[in-house]
Amino acid sequence: MNKPLTAKDFATDQEVRWCPGCGDYAILKCVQKTLADVQADPDQTVFVSGIGCSSRFPYYMNAYGFHTIHGRAPTFATGLKIANPDLDVWIVTGDGDGLSIGGNHLLHVLRRNVDVQVLLFNNEIYGLTKGQYSPTSRPGTRSPSTPAGSIDQPVSPGAFALGAGARFIARGVDTDAKNLSPVLASAREFKGAAFVEIFQNCIVYNKDVFEDFTNKKQAKETQLHVQHGQPLLFANGTKGLKLNTATLTLEIVDVGDNHTPQSEILVHDETNRGIAQMLLTLPKEGFPMPLGVIYRAPATSFDDAFWSHHPTQGKRTGKVADALRKGSVWKKD
């Protein structure tokens, strides 16, 4: 009988080369642990990346991997999934790689609902190229490319994914393996494009940019861990989000005796696109950060739809070597 896989079974002998203290280390460990927990098959698992700090990920996973072209990981991943639907395909990208040069490619893998997991490491900066501002950088960010401070309005990765038609959207924090691991497992289980934004600390160029909600001492007050069918409560249940029906916006209220009854707190419905929209666009100032599975609405995946109309139904009818030696296979009717 084979022994159950452990996180070590998904680690390679390659030296992990990120800056000391980089949040990518924590994400790597969490992914390895999650795959071991669900007993994933390394021989059926593929990690695809583009260019950037996060894109070194495939080297450190004991699975198949492709370190591809800047922003084009979704394209390669789509081809892989169509060619072999049985593969468990993961895309690892960053806010620059995925939302700048790769924005168009990311949009299409999401709208098509290709059965892949997209892990977008968001550190709100370009790390590999030495700290230029990225599509998610906040206004006022000082960097080599914005010495006077960025004047751009940032992209919200989650709102982008929702607008692109993603059917699964979640958020997590790099160092919070307790809550991130179940999110990754849920993403893997989802049949379709699963988009997970992971807030990742760049220790060198944008240190502690998420400290306002990742600080563990304040996390209960600044983080909202959503669960399907449960009220949107935080701060040990003493505060919650209530829907203002006049403005169709969320507002923070105190909960309990002499305050708003819990029955008036909005209940999270991960299948409700409207609730997802409100949670993904909550103002950063004054509101907790929604984390967990924010939206999940299953639909037919692109690869299932593709093969359902194909005469072979995805079954192999020959060998690649034979096809290569056959010459031209096109015949005029």
pLDDT digits (tens, 9 = 90+) for 213-248: 999 999 999 999 999 999 999 999 999 999 999 999
The pLDDT value recorded for residue 329 is 61
Q: 96-116, pLDDT tens digit by residue?
A: 999 999 999 999 999 999 999
The pLDDT value recorded for residue 324 is 77
Residue 279 has pLDDT above 80, yes or no: yes
The pLDDT value recorded for residue 240 is 97
Question: pLDDT band for position 34 (50/70/90)?
Answer: very high
Which of 71-80, 148-157, 322-331 is predicted with the least confidence, judged by mean pLDDT? 322-331
The pLDDT value recorded for residue 7 is 96
The pLDDT value recorded for residue 319 is 82
Residue 330 has pLDDT above 80, yes or no: no
Residue 1 has pLDDT above 60, yes or no: no
Residue 27 has pLDDT above 60, yes or no: yes
Amino acid occupying residue 198: I
Question: pLDDT band for position 76 (50/70/90)?
Answer: very high
Burial profile 90-125: b = 16 or more Cβ within 10 angstroms, e = fewer: bbbbbbbbbbbbbbebbbbbbbbbbbbbbbbbbbbb
Secondary structure class of 148 (helix, strand, coil): coil
The pLDDT value recorded for residue 323 is 76
The pLDDT value recorded for residue 265 is 97
Q: What is the mean pLDDT of residues 281-298?
A: 96
Amino acid occupying residue 146: T
Q: CA–CA separation, 272 vs 97, rounded Å? A: 29
Question: pLDDT band for position 310 (50/70/90)?
Answer: confident
Q: 198-210, pLDDT tens digit by residue?
A: 999 999 999 999 9
For all residues of the chain together, what is the average pLDDT? 94
What are the residues whose beta carbons fall under 8 Å from the beta carbon of 140, sequence distance 6 or more?
149, 150
Judged by phi (left if over 0) then psi (alpha if -120 to 50, else beta), residue 78 lies in: alpha
Higher pLDDT, 313 or 64: 64
Tallying the residues shown for the chain, one arrives at 333
Residue 262 has pLDDT above 90, yes or no: yes
How distant, in Å, are the alpha carbons of 114, 222, 229, 316 from that of 217?
39, 10, 27, 55
The pLDDT value recorded for residue 153 is 94
Question: pLDDT band for position 322 (50/70/90)?
Answer: confident
Q: CA–CA separation, 76 vs 232, rounded Å? A: 38
How distant, in Å, are the alpha carbons of 45, 309, 313, 323 from that of 319?
22, 21, 16, 6
Residue 10 has pLDDT above 90, yes or no: yes
Amino acid occupying residue 330: W
With vertex at residue 112, the alpha carbon angle to CA 77 and CA 49, rounded to the nearest 5 degrees, is 25
Higher pLDDT, 324 or 49: 49
Question: pLDDT band for position 182 (50/70/90)?
Answer: very high
The pLDDT value recorded for residue 328 is 66
